Structure 1
Amino acid sequence: MSQAKTGDVVRIHYTGKLTDGTQFDSSEGREPLQFQVGAGQIIPGLEKCIEGMQVGEKSTVTVPSEEAYGPRDERQVQSVPREAFPKDLDLRIGASLQASTEDGRQIPLTVVEIDDMQVTVDANHPLAGHDLVFDLELVEIVNA
């Protein structure tokens, strides 16, 4: 039986959880996730775990934050004057916003605090700083 290797297009089923068991994502009820091993289409630590797996093999792996979404960076948390936001914008804690950089890149932001004068936003990925646990099943090697 062949093993997944760099360059293969594979399909996996997965369930992603935090180390406390809180589930953050799953392919359950959906098509398996398809990607090319080694192409950087998924987090590096998960990609490493897929290499060498055989079709039908199941595994539970822990991916350290450094190989997932990286450590939290408190410099990515900024307070912005409330008047910088459109008056009709529905600002609430947990709301997802987007900012544009000077070069046109879009940065996703999460509202983490609001008061009369300031809105505090966080540009860290929501899973930054977390070790992630994945239940994996290699369903298919598409181009084996």
Structure 2
Amino acid sequence: METGSNVQLEYTLKDEAGAVLDSNKGQDPLRYTHGAQQIIPGLERELVGLHAGDEKQVVVKPEDAYGAANPTAQVEVPRTAIPENALVVGARLLARNPQGQGRAVVIKEIREKTVLLDLNHPLAGKTLFFDVKVLAVAAPAADASQKDAPAAPPEK
């Protein structure tokens, strides 16, 4: 696997206690272009040099994943902005900014008239444990500038 390789992975993500946080086993593989910053840096770095069929356990520290949790990354919203059935401390919600972009938030505290939302990524500050199996690696596509270049004449 090298920069530009098209990769397909099967993975299971666990926390420090071994609880499964996410997995795509038995589902569609994770597809990404290696080196294009499409997956967390710590995982991508550990996959360099692997081939189809390889399996690896990878530990990714917070600074190589979603960063440290920022205690000031909070916002207070009117309680009426949250559906009544979702008013549970620890509940994960998808909030939209004025531009319509979605962001995962967690209810940190429920007050009389407001709700305190944690804006950190749910995995910020956590060490992540991946069990990864490389399903396929396709070589990087040839550079378009080289593809159209005339072939060198044969040597005599």
Shorter-chain TM range is: 0.7 to 0.9
Preserved CA contact (<8 Å) 2:104 2:122: no
Once the two structures are superposed, the pairs formed by residues 1-144 of structure 1 within 5 Å of their partners are 4-82=1-79, 85=81, 89-90=83-84, 91-93=86-88, 94-100=91-97, 105-143=101-139
Deviations 1:64-107 (A, max 9, x none): 01111111001112333435x27xx3341204041415x66543
Report sequence identity in percent.
34
Amino acid aligned to 1:98: A
Structure 1 segments unaligned to the other structure (5+ residues): none
> What is the root-mean-square deviation of aligned Cα atoms in Å?
1.9
CA contact (8 A) 1:97 1:111 kept: no
Q: How far apart in 2 are the matches of 1:25 and 1:106? A: 20
Q: TM-score, normalised by structure 2?
A: 0.79
Paired residues, what number? 137
Unaligned segments of structure 2, at least 5 residues: 141-156
Distance 2:130 2:69 in 1: 20
